[in-house]
A and B are shown apart, each in its own frame.
Chain A
C-alpha cells in the first residue's frame, strides 16, 4: 500500500496500540482484560504494520524464527511456574500455598504467579496471531 497518509497515520498510531496491548496484559489480574484480549490487541498492531508496509518489511520486524521462539517460551514459562508447585510439595499450578509472594492488594506486582502467567500467555497469543497472519500472507 503506497499511500503517504496511511503510512504516516500508522506510524503515529502504532505505539499507542502496542502500549494499550501491554497495559491490558500487565493489568490482567487487576482490571477487565487479560492475556487473550491483550495479546490480540498487541498482535493487531503488527498485523496493521504488515498490511501497510508490506510482508517483507513486516517479517523483518518479527521473523518466523523469533515468533516461534516467543510462542514456545510462553508455554514453557507457564509449565515451569506450574511445576514449582510440585517442587514445593503441592499440586501442579499451586499459587499461594507454594510460596509465591502475594504482595499488596491492587498493585501490579501482586497475586503470586497470576501476572507472570498472564504475561507469558499474552506473548504466546500475540505470536500465534502474527504467525497465522504472516503464514497466510505468504501463501498469496
Chain B
C-alpha cells in the first residue's frame, strides 16, 4: 500500500515537472527572464560602485556577498560533518583512554 502511494506521488510529481519543461523559454532566447537589466547594471555601474577592476570578484564579494557567506557556511557545515564522522580517533588521543 505504502509503495503504491509513493509510486503515485512520485509519478504525479514527474508528470508535473515534465509538462512544465515545455513551458520553459528556449536556451539563448533574448526575451528569457535570465537576460534582464541586472547584468547590464553590473557591467556599467560595477567599476564605479565597487572600485574593483575584477568584476567577477566584485560581484561575488560585494553585490552577492550574502550568497558567498552562504557558501562559506556550506563549507563550514561540510567540515563539521566530516569531523563528526571521522574525528573519533582524534578525540580519543585528546582524552586518553576515555572511550566506550
Contacts and interface: CB of A to CB of B under 8 A. Distances in A.
B83 A131 contact: yes
Interface string B56-97: 111011100110110011011011001100110110000000
Given A34-B57, A118-B57, A138-B89, 9 more contacts: A74-B72, A78-B69, A78-B72, A95-B49, A96-B50, A105-B47, A114-B58, A117-B68, A121-B72
Contact of B50 (A82, A112, A128, A131): A112
B75 A125 contact: yes
Contacts of B73: 75
Contact of B53 (A29, A113, A118): A29
Contacts of B78: 128
Interface string B27-49: 00000000000000000000101
Main secondary structure of the interface of B (DSSP, over half): helix
B51 interface: yes
Contacts of A102: 51
Interface residues of A, number: 39
Interface in A50-65: 64
* Category for how many chain B residues contact A: 20 to 34
Interface of B: 47, 49-54, 56-58, 60-62, 65-66, 68-69, 72-73, 75-76, 78-79, 82-83, 86-87, 89-90
A139 B86 contact: yes
- Specify which of B68, B75, B82 lies most central, judged by the most chain A CB atoms within 10 Å of its CB: B75
B62 A75 contact: no
A135 B86 contact: yes
